[in-house]
């Protein structure tokens, strides 16, 4: 009776655990000083195993991506030992899931935004709003969001993507006052998505293109950082409205967890709110056209 060949190591899990171990200092992990010179940055494998309460041999096999059925209890213990935040913990669990054998994967069907949500976007006239989907694809945007960023509807379908805009559109580096933070966030969000959808061919195409065309993207992708967009602050230098400081909120859509509504607001009676009003009045004629 023929036995199926042993699957290769889970390289994504291996690289993620190594990157998290390297960035965790012994002091942060609560370990005392160690005699002698440390040969590795961050924690040793033996130290992670000790902190997680597992054998050194088991953790070594886990980090090498050769433990396909790690229990939730073990993963939780490793997450605590490495001080993973909620997004990193979720990413660890995604990467540790048993993966099916290598097969040819069909592209995911195009995402559609429900007509009711499109009408909601149309009613949001005083705040930029957009709906993002797989791979940070821009599925829909109201006129004020198009005026703030770019008219995504006027772009070819493959270019309606926030990561492509940030890294490949020269206007993005002028628009985003803290471009590096925004760009690193986009890379980390794509990393998180990659853990959930490891067989998405369009993601592989996007990552390959950005890695070839932008050195920063290539370097940050190798860092294995992950980020779940929930809320935060964005800084802009708009050619019409000037400087804006906007808070964003990400609202997941219950009937499609891979779609999220993003709202951008300014503090009441602040210079940024006045700038948004200016941008809205400037964009209104174009929207009517």
For residues 123 and 220, membership in a common domain is answered with: yes
3-class SS at 289? Answer: coil
With left for phi above 0 and alpha for psi between -120 and 50, is residue 107 left, alpha or beta? beta
The rounded percent of the chain whose pLDDT value lies above 90 is 76
Question: What is the structure's pLDDT at 40?
Answer: 72
Q: Which residues pair with 253 in a beta bridge?
A: 256
3-class SS at 256? Answer: strand
Q: Name the more confident of 280 and 6.
A: 280
Residues in the chain: 289
| pLDDT tens column, 129-166 | 999 999 999 999 999 999 999 999 999 999 999 999 99
**In the numeric block, which tokens belong to residue 275?**
């700038």
For residues 277 and 137, membership in a common domain is answered with: yes
CA distances from 208 to 24, 66, 78, 165, 216 (A): 29, 26, 31, 15, 13
- Average per-residue pLDDT for the chain: 90
For residues 193 and 274, membership in a common domain is answered with: yes
pLDDT at 27 over 60: yes
Domain total in the chain: 2
For residues 125 and 252, membership in a common domain is answered with: yes
In a domain, 104, yes or no: no
In a domain, 78, yes or no: yes
Question: What is the structure's pLDDT at 258?
Answer: 87
Q: Are the C-beta atoms of residues 53 and 23 closer than 8 Å to each other?
A: no
In a domain, 182, yes or no: yes
Q: pTM for the full model?
A: 0.90
Query: In this structure, what are the phi and psi dihedrals at residue 219, rounded to the nearest 5 degrees?
Result: -70, -45
The CATH number of whichever domain residue 61 belongs to comes to: 1.10.260.40
Question: What is the structure's pLDDT at 229?
Answer: 95
Q: Among candidates 266, 263, 262, 270, which has minimal Cα distance to 235?
A: 266
Please tell me the number of Cα atoms within 13 Å of 89 on its side-chain side.
15
For residues 161 and 255, membership in a common domain is answered with: yes
- Mean pLDDT for 67-76 is 92
- Mean pLDDT for 167-183 is 97
For residues 260 and 154, membership in a common domain is answered with: yes
For residues 120 and 65, membership in a common domain is answered with: no
For residues 147 and 79, membership in a common domain is answered with: no
- Mean pLDDT for 42-59 is 94
For residues 169 and 120, membership in a common domain is answered with: yes
pLDDT at 47 over 50: yes
Q: Which of the four pLDDT bands, split at 50, 70 and 90, describes residue 289?
A: very low
CA pair distance 205, 201, nearest whole angstrom: 6
In a domain, 21, yes or no: yes
Burial (0-12, 13-18, 19+ Cβ within 10 Å), 235:
middle
The rounded percent of the chain whose pLDDT value lies above 70 is 90
Residues 6+ apart with CB under 8 A from 125: 142, 143, 144, 280
CA pair distance 147, 141, nearest whole angstrom: 10
pLDDT at 103 over 60: no
For residues 89 and 126, membership in a common domain is answered with: no
Tell me which residue range forms the domain holding 260: 115-288
pLDDT at 38 over 80: no
CA pair distance 245, 266, nearest whole angstrom: 7
Q: Are the C-beta atoms of residues 229 and 127 closer than 8 Å to each other?
A: no
| pLDDT tens column, 207-236 | 999 999 999 999 999 999 999 999 999 999
For residues 15 and 152, membership in a common domain is answered with: no
CA pair distance 175, 162, nearest whole angstrom: 13
For residues 188 and 272, membership in a common domain is answered with: yes
In a domain, 107, yes or no: no
Q: Are the C-beta atoms of residues 231 and 92 closer than 8 Å to each other?
A: no
């Amino acid at each position: 009776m023929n036995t199926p060949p042993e699957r290769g190591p889970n390289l994504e899990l291996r690289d993620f655990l190594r990157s998290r171990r390297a960035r965790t200092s012994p002091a942060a992990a609560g370990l005392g000083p160690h005699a002698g010179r440390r040969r590795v940055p961050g924690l040793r494998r033996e130290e992670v195993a000790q902190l997680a309460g597992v054998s050194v041999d088991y953790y070594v096999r886990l980090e090498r991506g050769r433990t396909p059925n790690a229990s939730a209890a073990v993963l939780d213990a490793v997450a605590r030992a490495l001080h993973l935040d909620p997004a990193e913990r979720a990413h660890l669990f995604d990467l540790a899931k048993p993966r099916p054998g290598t097969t040819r994967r069909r592209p995911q069907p195009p995402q559609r935004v429900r007509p009711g949500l499109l009408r909601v976007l149309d009613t949001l006239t005083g705040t930029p709003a957009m709906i993002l989907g797989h791979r940070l694809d821009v599925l829909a945007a109201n006129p004020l969001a198009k005026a703030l960023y770019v008219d995504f509807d006027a772009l070819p379908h493959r270019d309606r993507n926030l990561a492509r805009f940030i890294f490949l559109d020269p206007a993005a580096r002028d628009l985003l006052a803290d471009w590096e933070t925004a760009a690193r966030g986009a890379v980390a969000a794509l990393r998180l998505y990659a853990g959930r959808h490891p067989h998405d061919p369009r993601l592989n195409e996007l990552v390959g293109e950005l890695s070839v065309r932008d050195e920063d993207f290539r370097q940050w992708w190798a860092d294995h950082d992950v980020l779940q967009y929930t809320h935060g602050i964005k800084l802009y230098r708009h050619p019409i409205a000037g400087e804006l400081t906007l808070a964003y909120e990400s609202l997941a859509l219950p009937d499609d967890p891979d779609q999220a509504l993003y709202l951008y607001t300014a503090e009441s009676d602040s210079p940024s709110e006045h700038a948004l009003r200016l941008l809205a009045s400037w964009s209104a004629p174009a929207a009517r056209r």
